[in-house]
Amino acid sequence: MGFYSRHIAPWLVDCACGTKPIAYQRRKIVPRAEGVVLEIGAGGGRNFALYDPAKVTKLIALEPDPEMVKRGKARTPQGLAIDWIERGAEEAGVEPGSVDTLLTTFTLCTIPDAIGALSALRGVLKPGGKLLFCEHGLAPDADVQKWQRRIEPVWKPLAGGCHLTRDVGRMLADAGWRTGQIETMYLPGTPRFAGYNTWGDAVPA
């Protein structure tokens, strides 16, 4: 891991995750989390202040990048106890059947084996538990897709491993999740190649 990946990329990615349109989207999803929550790839903790303390009994933040963990710890709001697991989702090691809400925002683009991780994480949910997601990915328009495919090879190493061409709905289905409510749009004020957003909820199929 070079200097860029260790220090610059996490800073850049965390800044990119802090835009107004992304903050707006987070508010549609994060306050819906309840009970024991496992946030996948919690990053710099940009969701932490949006959890409803009256609904969340415990937050487990899964994050493999030590620089992101540092940022996340610095953003912990008063009164929110967070258990950190400083590993990737593929090796989370969370007790089966112990989580009410799995939450992922802008992370499925980056997990190397996102389908494998999503598939394995089904087992950590309690009966009746759900996955909440808000992710960017493959756009439906051919001209945007063309640019996503062109830009991705350059973008990925610069943006901490972020893919532009992952189809969010398809990934969830391939990993054994049944989506319920699902919404999509291009985020305003965001380049379309990185701004096609899909959000909603899912349960194990």
Q: The tokens of 170 are what?
A: 């398809």
Of 78, 83, 46, give the one whose Cα is nearest residue 61. Answer: 83
Q: Which of 36, 46, 51, 122 binds ligand SAM (CB under 6 A)?
A: 46
Tell me: does residue 105 bind ligand SAM (CB under 6 A): yes
Coil/strand/helix, residue 90: helix
What is the distance between the alpha carbons of residues 111 and 160, in angstroms, rounded to a whole number? 10
Asked if 63 and 73 count as a contact pair (C-beta separation under 8 A), the reply is: no
The angle subtended at Cα 101 by Cα 179 and Cα 62, nearest 5°, is 110
Per DSSP, 188 falls in state: T
Q: Which of 30, 38, 59, 89 touches ligand SAM by CB under 6 A?
A: 89
The answer to the question of residue 135 lying near ligand SAM (CB under 6 A) is no
| Chosen residue from 33, 56, 68, 171 binding ligand SAM by CB under 6 A | 68
Is 31 a binding residue for ligand SAM by CB under 6 A? The answer is no
46 vs 151: CA distance, rounded Å: 26
CB-wise, 35 or 64, nearer to ligand SAM? 64
Nearer to ligand SAM, 91 or 146 (CB): 91
Q: Which amino acid is at 168?
A: V
Determine if 56 is a binding residue for ligand SAM (CB under 6 A): no
Q: Where does this chain touch ligand SAM (CB under 6 A) — which range of 100-108, 118-126, 177-185, 191-199?
A: 100-108
Which one of the spans 101-109, 144-152, 179-187, 196-204 is the region binding ligand SAM (CB under 6 A)? 101-109
Q: Minimum distance from CB of 128 to ligand SAM (Å)?
A: 24
Please report how close the Cβ of residue 142 comes to ligand SAM at its closest, in angstroms: 25
Give the binding-site size for ligand SAM (rule: CB under 6 A). 25
Selection from 62, 67, 92, 61 nearest residue 14 by Cα: 67
Candidates 29, 56, 63, 124: give the one binding ligand SAM (CB under 6 A). 63
Name, in order, each residue with C-beta under 8 angstroms of 151's C-beta and a sequence gap of 6 or more: 164, 193
Region label for 106, one of left (φ > 0), alpha (ψ between -120 and 50) or beta (otherwise): left
Query: Which of 43, 169, 195, 200 is close enough to bind ligand SAM by CB under 6 A?
Result: 43
Bridge partner residues of 196 (DSSP): 186
Q: Applying CB under 6 A, which residues contact ligand SAM?
A: 13, 17, 40-44, 46-47, 62-65, 68, 88-90, 105-107, 110-112, 160, 162
